[in-house]
Amino acid sequence: MSQGNTDVTTEVSPVRQCETPAAQAACSVLEVLGRVSGKWSIGILLVTTQGPARFTELERQVKGISRRMLTLTLRNLERDGLLTRTVYPTVPPKVEYTATPMARELYDSLLALTGWAERHLHEIDRARADYDGAAAPEAVRTPALAG
Amino acid sequence: MSQGNTDVTTEVSPVRQCETPAAQAACSVLEVLGRVSGKWSIGILLVTTQGPARFTELERQVKGISRRMLTLTLRNLERDGLLTRTVYPTVPPKVEYTATPMARELYDSLLALTGWAERHLHEIDRARADYDGAAAPEAVRTPALAG
DNA sequence: CGGGATCCTCCGGGATACTG
DNA sequence: CAGTATCCCGGAGGATCCCG
C-alpha cells in the first residue's frame, strides 16, 4: 500500500484481461477495490463520512488500527482525493480529516455491496458449513448420529 | 486465502468496530470484500457469470492467472456458494464451473462500484498527480517552465 | 497531538514439477 | 484435462521508538 509503489496509474494494470468489453467492468472494479482494499480504508471512510475527524479520534473509533496503518491509510485516501486533510497550526497540533463528495458517493455505492452481504450472509455461511462438512469429515465419522 | 485458516466464520472478525449501528454496514462490506478480494475472484466471477466454463477455458480467459491460483480461487468461490462445480466422469475429465444466482446478484452490485470508478477515474488520477506533484518535487524544480 | 523511521512477521500469490 | 505439492518472494500490516 505504501512501501512498494504499485504504479497502477502508469503502466499495464495487474490484469491484462481488459480486452473484451465485458472485462472492462472487472478492471474498473479492480481499480476501486485496489483503492478501498486494506483492512482499514473502509472503516476510515465510514467515520470521516459522518463528519470531520481528528487523528486521535480516528485512532479510537477505528478500533484495532495501529498508528502506523492509520497514517498510511489516511495518506493514501488523501492522495486519491477521497479525504481532505486540514491542519490547524495551534499549540497542540490539530488535524482534521474529512471525506470528499467523491468519497461519499463511493460509500453510497458500497451500500449496494452491504445489501448483498446482508441478504446472503446466511446463505454463504450455510454453503461454507456444507462444503466444510462434506470435505473434512475424516475422523468425525459418527454414523450413529447420522443413521 | 488457503494455507492460513483465517477463520472468519467462527470468531471475532478482524474489525471490532461493528458496535455502532453505522459501522455494521462497514463490517458487511468487509465481509464481501474478503470474499471477492484477491486478484482473480472477480475475473472468474465475470467469466462464469457469462455461462458455464471449464477449467482450461478459465485458465485462458482469465489471462495471467496461474493454475494454482485458479484452483484455489475456484475452491473458495465454490465454498462460499458463489460457484457450482460439475464433474463429468468422462475419459478426459471434464469439469464445469457455473456462477450461482447469488453470484450474479453480487456481480450486479459490483456494477455500482464500476459506475463509481468510471465516473471518478480521471478525478482520482488528477488528485494523485496533484498530491505527488506537491510532495515529491525536490529535484525537479524547474521554475523556468513554471514562471 | 500527530505523525515519521525502522524492524519483523505473515500470507497472498508466482513458478515449477508431479499425478490420476 | 484438471488438478496437487513444494519452494520462494514481495508487500501489507503490527510493534516499537523517536520527533516537532
Strand ranges in B4-76 using DSSP code E only, listed in sequence order: 53-54
Interchain CB distance below 8 Å, B116 and A32: yes
User: What does the alpha-carbon distance between residue A37 and residue A18 come to, in Å, rounded to a whole number?
Assistant: 20
> Given a cut of 70, is residue A123 above it in pLDDT?
yes
Which sequence spans correspond to the domains of chain A? Answer: 25-134
A90 contact B CB<8A:
no
CATH class for domain B25-134?
mainly alpha
State pLDDT tens for residues A34-91. 888 888 999 999 999 999 999 999 999 999 999 999 999 999 999 999 999 999 999 9
The pLDDT confidence band at residue A114, using thresholds 50, 70 and 90, is confident
Task: Compute the half-sphere exposure of residue B39: CA atoms within 13 Å on the CB side of its CA.
Answer: 13
Put simply, whether B81 touches A (Cβ < 8 Å) is: yes
Taking residues B99-118, what's their average pLDDT?
91
Contacts of A31 in chain B (CB under 8 A): 117, 121
Contact between B100 and A96 under an 8 Å Cβ cutoff? The reply is no
The pLDDT, as a whole number, for residue B141 is 52
Count other C-beta atoms under 10 Å from residue B39's C-beta: 16
d(CA B44, CA B137): 41
Residue that has been written with the C-alpha cell 462490506 in this structure: B29
Q: How far is A93 from chain B (nearest CA, A)?
A: 21
Burial B95-128 (b: 16+ CB within 10 A, else e): ebbebbebbeebbebbebbbbbbeebeeebeebb
3-state secondary structure of A20: coil
* Burial class (CB within 10 angstroms; exposed 0-12, middle 13-18, buried 19+) of B55: middle
C-beta separation of B45 from B107 below 8 A: yes
Residue type, B76: N
> What is the Rg, in whole angstroms, of the alpha carbon atoms belonging to chain B?
21
> B110 falls in which pLDDT band (50, 70, 90)?
confident
Residue B89, helix vs strand vs coil: coil
Between residues A13 and A132, which one has the greater pLDDT?
A132
Q: State the pLDDT at residue A21.
A: 65
B98 CB-to-strand D distance under 7 Å: no
Express each pLDDT in B44-57 by its tens digit. 999 999 999 999 99
Q: How far apart are CA B94 and CA B56, in angstroms?
A: 10
Q: pLDDT (tens digit, 9 = 90+) per residue, B114-126?
A: 889 889 988 998 9
Q: Model-level pTM?
A: 0.81
Q: What is the pLDDT of residue B31?
A: 78
Question: What is the tens place of the pLDDT at every residue in B78-87?
Answer: 999 999 999 9
